[in-house]
Amino acid sequence: MSLKNEYLKKVMADVEKRNPNEPEFHQAVREVLESLEPVIAKHPEFEAQGLVDRIVEPERIIKFRVPWVDDNGNVQVNRGFRIQFNSAIGPYKGGLRFHPSVYEGIIKFLGFEQIFKNSLTGLPIGGGKGGSDFDPKGKSDAEVMRFCQSFMTELCKHIGADTDVPAGDIGVGGREIGFLYGQYKKIRNEFVGVLTGKGLTYGGSLARTQATGYGLCYFTEEMLNDKGNSFNGKTVVISGSGNVAIYATEKATQLGGKVVALSDSNGYIYDKNGIDLDYVKQLKEVERKRIKEYLNKHPEAEYHEGCSGIWTIKCDIALPCATQNELDEASAKALVANGVVAVAEGANMPSTPEAVEVFQSNGVLFGPAKAANAGGVATSALEMSQNSQRLSWTFEEVDAKLKDIMVNIYHNSADAAEKYGLKDNFVAGANIAGFLKVADAMMAQGIV
Ligand code: NDP
């Protein structure tokens, strides 16, 4: 699909010119602008107020040096980023990613998507994202700690419980959040909810660890239920084996599905008997090992090198939960040929635009990341509420709120799609519903 509206075409051309060599950011903006065609046609005031020109430009980009000393006494230098994209409806909120592939374009794409995702949760949070090209893989705990301390020494000047509240993402889990929080507290001398995903002994929320994966399955179940279907008895393929993939596996199984495959950046495992999740948790969360070690305990399972082969496994439901653009057109065609019924994105932008087109034109129910994986940030916002109240809610309370939020996100996206004549196009529906709330707030606040 290409843009038709002259105003949106001009905004897109400006984005490409102003942000050269950032293809992931262009891809994320283009998808949103394509969805907004009917909205802009109906609301000429948005163009008059330059609203779309403003929403594609980050409010602030912070870029900094992160020097640290490795275990051999050598000085290492990484680059840190925080992009405070949009604060129209609340303080900036979004994760930190530590991965060697991180550069400004990746953080921009993630920060941009975060605006609409956070809006969809119905909670008062703006959009932001950050990270570094640091690779925690293969580093000792002491090296990770020194890196996190150096990173936070600069970042702490720019964030705050009412300003900007980062969380985890790829490469940033409980260990990293702990080190980051300790350094923030030491420098600023304040014990506040400035990060989410914290440990339970120092302000974390029950169910935050599970939230993205569980939320993904609650969204998918609602999408299936709406069409008279469910997880029950279905074969499920999930990519990745990190935080999102592990808890998506747990919830999909609880809902009656059988998860038969998981992966990491080296390859994938296929266990036709259903994945032994306790063992995967031990390997990944405790021992930080590779997914192929799964065969040590389950020699009957298969391991294959390379990531994309996972999409050739026959399944009813596919949940990509690893990284951006991991599922391309050929993989989408393979899934369709094997009879996939629903695909929902746990990772951010895991399906290429061509893959999305294949799913939508073949009647596959497709849940886009902004809607389907919003459970993580929604629960982070619930962590912020608990920190402000200085209270901790029970697991059941948080989980029930999460489920409610995901069901609402599904229906708000489905309703917005239908209202604009795009029934069952949840990509457009999520973009439109997320956009309208932010646009309304921006219109009310003037040209700022
Ligand atoms: P983790 O770091 O816990 O796990 C990431 C998983 O994806 C690992 O199995 C990793 O394998 C794999 N992976 C990472 N990069 C690649 C790659 N280039 N190719 C193939 N596999 C890769 O991260 P999360 O589970 O937290 O995040 C996964 C996705 O979900 C990301 O897109 C993230 O933005 C998104 N997300 C996360 C949320 C959260 O709450 N954590 C919230 C919303 C979205 P390996 O170990 O080999 O690197």
> Is there an atom of ligand 1 within 6 Å of 168 CB?
yes
> Is there an atom of ligand 1 within 6 Å of 322 CB?
yes
Structure tokens that stand for 193 in this block: 């909810």
Supply the pLDDT for residue 338. Answer: 98
Q: How far apart are CA 32 and CA 435, in angstroms?
A: 9
Supply the pLDDT for residue 78. Answer: 98
Per-residue three-class SS string for 308-372:
HHHHHCCCCEEECCCCCCCECHHHHHHHHHCCCCEEECCCCCCECHHHHHHHHHCCCEEECHHHH
> Is there an atom of ligand 1 within 6 Å of 383 CB?
no
Residue labelled with tokens 């294949």: 358
Supply the pLDDT for residue 298. Answer: 98
Supply the pLDDT for residue 1. Answer: 67
Instruction: Examine domains 60-191 and 211-372 and report if their fold is the same.
Output: yes
In the three-class reduction of DSSP (H, G, I as helix; E, B as strand; rest coil), residue 83 is classed as strand
pLDDT tens, 314-366?
999 999 999 999 999 999 999 999 999 999 999 999 999 999 999 999 999 99
The residue contributing the CA closest to ligand 1 atom 29 is 347
Contact 343, 311 (CB under 8 A): no
What single-letter amino acid sits at 427?
Answer: V
Query: Burial level of 445, CB count in 10 A (0-12/13-18/19+)?
Result: exposed
Which one is the CATH code of 211-372: 3.40.190.10, 1.10.1740.10, 3.40.50.720, 3.40.109.10? 3.40.50.720
What single-letter amino acid sits at 445?
Answer: Q
The domain locations on the chain are 6-55, 60-191, 211-372
Q: How far apart are CA 220 and CA 366, in angstroms?
A: 9
> Is there an atom of ligand 1 within 6 Å of 170 CB?
yes
Supply the pLDDT for residue 336. Answer: 98
Structure tokens that stand for 39 in this block: 């909205």
**CA angle, 113 then 115 then 120, to 5°:** 100
Å from CA of 146 to ligand 1 middle = 23
C-beta atoms surrounding 22 within 10 Å: 20
Annotation says 129 is catalytic: yes
Phi, psi angles (nearest 5°) of residue 98: -110, 105
CA distances from 347 to 110, 338, 432 (A): 11, 22, 20
Q: How confident is the model at residue 2 (pLDDT cuts 50, 70, 90)?
A: confident
The residue contributing the CA closest to ligand 1 atom 46 is 264
Single out the residue of 53, 23, 56, 393 nearest to residue 203, CA to CA.
393
> Is there an atom of ligand 1 within 6 Å of 307 CB?
yes
> Is there an atom of ligand 1 within 6 Å of 347 CB?
yes
Whether the per-residue pLDDT at 115 is higher than 90: the answer is yes
Choosing from 264, 284, 307 the residue with most ligand 1 atoms within 8 A of its CB, the one to mutate for a pocket test is: 264
pLDDT tens, 356-407?
999 999 999 999 999 999 999 999 999 999 999 999 999 999 999 999 999 9
Q: Give me the mean pLDDT over the 159-169 stretch.
A: 98
- Domain 60-191 listed as CATH 3.40.50.10860: yes
Å from CA of 170 to ligand 1 middle = 5
What single-letter amino acid sits at 293?
Answer: E
User: Could you tell me what percent of the chain has a pLDDT over 90?
Assistant: 100
CB within 8 Å of 112: residues ≥ 6 apart = 25, 28, 29, 32, 56, 85, 127
pTM surpassing 0.85?
yes
Query: Burial level of 77, CB count in 10 A (0-12/13-18/19+)?
Result: exposed
Out of 93, 108, 117, 129, which one is annotated catalytic?
A: 129
Q: How far apart are CA 91 and CA 163, in angstroms?
A: 5
Q: Give me the mean pLDDT over the 219-230 stretch.
A: 98
Whether the per-residue pLDDT at 156 is higher than 70: the answer is yes
The residue contributing the CA closest to ligand 1 atom 4 is 242
Supply the pLDDT for residue 349. Answer: 97
User: Per this entry, what is the length of the chain?
Assistant: 448
Residue labelled with tokens 């008059």: 48
Q: Locate the ligand 1 atom nearest the alpha carbon of residue 346 and give its number.
A: 30
